[in-house]
Structure formats: C-alpha cells, structure tokens
Amino acid sequence: MTAYAYLIIAIVFEVVATSALKASEGFTRMVPSIIVVVGYVATFYFFSLVLKTMPVGVAYAIWCGLGIILVTLMGIFLYGQTPDLPAILGMALILIGVCVINYFSKTIVH
C-alpha cells in the first residue's frame, strides 16, 4: 500500500474515534468508549506506517486538515451541529492549504 492509502485509513479511524468520543459521554458509555480506544490505536498504527515514507509535517497537515473537515461533517450528520460562516470559511482555508501542500510541495512523496 502507498503512504496515501495508509493516511486515508488513519484519517477514517481518527474521524470514527473522535465522533465516538462525543457519544461516549466522558467514557461513561461502554460501546462508544471501546470504539474510541480501538479507533485511536488503529489511527496511530496506520499513521506510523505513513511516516516511514512521508515527512511528518506534511503527513500531519494532511491528517489534521482532512480530519477537521470530516469530523465537522460527522458533527453535522450525527449531532446536528451546524458550523457558522466563519467556521466554514476557516475550514475552506484549511482545505486549500492541504491542496497546496499536495500539489506544490517538493517535500511530499508522490
């Protein structure tokens, strides 16, 4: 698998774990709490595989940028948390930054 495939897997696990963190209600609900722990362990395992070939700063920027947007979407659909215009604009700028890194950075593995 490529670094990008591992990164996507890490991001998906992180989004699921973070969404379950809200549902765990401070680790008072068993099933969401288990999902959180398993999700974060899987996240860091796959992220460690990414770091074998991709610079840590670039990988982390992509992970955080896409994670923020995907967690926000999960918040909208699962919890009815609608971001306001400044939040949407901020996330758009983050997404633009991730695109700039991916398409123009010479430090990234293609």
Residue 41 in tokens: 């362990």
Show the domain range for 12. Answer: 3-104
Quick one: average pLDDT of 4-10?
A: 96
In a domain, 38, yes or no: yes
pLDDT in tens, 82-102: 999 999 999 899 889 888 887
Classify residue 19: in a domain, yes or no: yes
Q: Could you write out the DSSP letters of every residue in 64-94? A: HHHHHHHHHHHHHHHH-----HHHHHHHHHH
Q: What's the start-to-end Cα distance of the chain, in Å? A: 13
**Rounded to 5 degrees, what angle do the CA atoms 34, 36, 41 make?**
100
In a domain? residue 109: no
Tokens 């901020």, residue located: 90
For residue range 32-91, what is the model confidence (pLDDT) as tens digits?
A: 999 999 999 999 999 999 999 998 888 988 898 889 989 999 999 999 999 999 999 998
User: In the numeric block, which tokens belong to residue 88?
Assistant: 């949407």
The torsion region of residue 80 among left (phi > 0), alpha (psi -120 to 50) and beta comes to left
Q: Is 49 in contact with 63 (CB distance < 8 Å)?
A: no
Residue 48 belongs to some domain of the structure: yes
Number of structural domains the chain divides into? 1
Q: Residue 21 — very low, low, confident or very high, per pLDDT cuts 50/70/90? A: very high
Strands (E), the chain: none
